[in-house]
Amino acid sequence: MNHALQFYIGGEWVEPLGPERLGVTDPCTEETFAEIAMGTPADIDRAAAAARRAFTSFAATSPDERLALIRKILAAYAERYEEMARVISREIGAPRALAHGWQAGLGTRHLNELIRTCEAFVWQRMKGTTLITYEPIGVAALITPWNWPINQIVCKVAPAIAAGCTMVLKPSEVSPLNALLFAEVLDAAGVPAGVFNLVNGDGPLAGAALCSHPDVDMVSFTGSTRAGIEIARLAAPTVKRVHQELGGKSANIILDDAELTAAVTSGVNACFGNSGQSCNAPTRMFVPAARHAEAVTIAREAAQKHVVGAADDADTTLGPVVSAVQFDRIQRQIQQGIEEGAELVTGGTGRPEGLAHGYYVRPTVFAGVRPDMAIARDEIFGPVLSILPYDDEEHAIAMANDSVFGLAAYVQSGDHEHARRVAFRLRAGSVHINYPAWDAGAPFGGFRQSGNGREYGEWGLEAFLEVKGIVGYAA
């Protein structure tokens, strides 16, 4: 990959118009190992213009032609798969197994699911004498986060292409190298010039210019709720479609008929996955008050089995968080939990013993947490679990729903029908029963301040489509 100081615009690697550069930091060592160019509004203008020029011809291609292109992208991605895993591991500190099996692997899974979706999708249908047809919305602005970078890039870029849209991608400047590599994948697959464009940069400058750009018809954003509010404000004057997947503080209800050891252990591991840097992580664990002490013991043992270390260490199960900014924020939130009076079961502030450098956080569990505490209400985005005791099932459901967020929820029970009944009552975009396998075809998105719209499968495709009714078509 030789294009870190360039942008991909109009089917070519081009020089940036501004002089700004930004270092890319290895979170395991705190050392800068690469440098990227930072885009300006003028760079965004070039990219948006290229996307606009390409739209008319690309929108006129058939769904079958675009499906064939997605298959070529999958093949080109497979050729760069190992490199993709290495790049992601280096720039976000993901342990090797996680980077290979999941971080890079989700790109493959999304492409395969999209192929299945497109093969079955009904692009036109009659409703009486009216023809209902789906058409691409236009030029899409795609803004993606650093925590699961290629996952969010592929689940936006691929359905946008399948829909017939053109686009400008602004990936996170914290983890930008995988996006540059993916641009090389798309180029190798033969994506027509101007269909996909990439400009690196930060949110306040490049991101704001993109979201407010008059040539952009839609913004698809994944990131914090705070940034999502600003993006909606910027998009409002031109009445763009705004599709957002934002923050979360997901509840994990362990019902009184669950096998406690397995449920708590799995809940701890799910919370700590990707170093706790997942918007849908089950960070609030609700347990029966009568079994709170038992759950605390199980959670302590599960947390202390995690090995915190460098991404390339084979024993590592929990790598660093991504940046100094994240590390400092998590330290403040852990300290706040201590000051609020929650029981610190394990972990706490500071780096783990023996790790003087790198953004390593001690895997932390709090118990006896009250729902009014900040650690039970604010998204922490690190390996920090809050255990909240409940009196009865109604109490658990009420506390679980008492949140400004509603991205995901989790229910554990020895009685599947019991879990189903509870799942229907939880206000979240996705509810997971007994830690099921990840499903690339399930809708992903949230209620309330967790965003609007859905991604993955047919929902991800429909996000980039307009519905047209041709009335009297069959008259």
**Buried b or exposed e, range 67-79, using 16+ CB within 10 angstroms:** bebbbbbbebbee
Catalytic residue among 245, 379, 455, 458: 245
Catalytic residue among 271, 279, 379, 455: 279
Contact 446, 405 (CB under 8 A): yes
Contact 308, 352 (CB under 8 A): yes
Contact 245, 455 (CB under 8 A): yes
> Whose structure tokens read 């409703």?
127
Tokens of 33: 């190992």
241-245 and 166-170: which strand pairing? unpaired
Contact 247, 224 (CB under 8 A): yes
Asked if 31 is an active-site residue, the reply is no
Contact 104, 224 (CB under 8 A): no
**Ramachandran angles phi, psi of 288, nearest 5°:** -55, 135
Amino acid identity of residue 197, one-letter, is N
The H or E element spanning position 242 is strand 241-245
> Whose structure tokens read 């995690």?
306
Asked if 119 is an active-site residue, the reply is no
Residues known to be catalytic: 245, 279
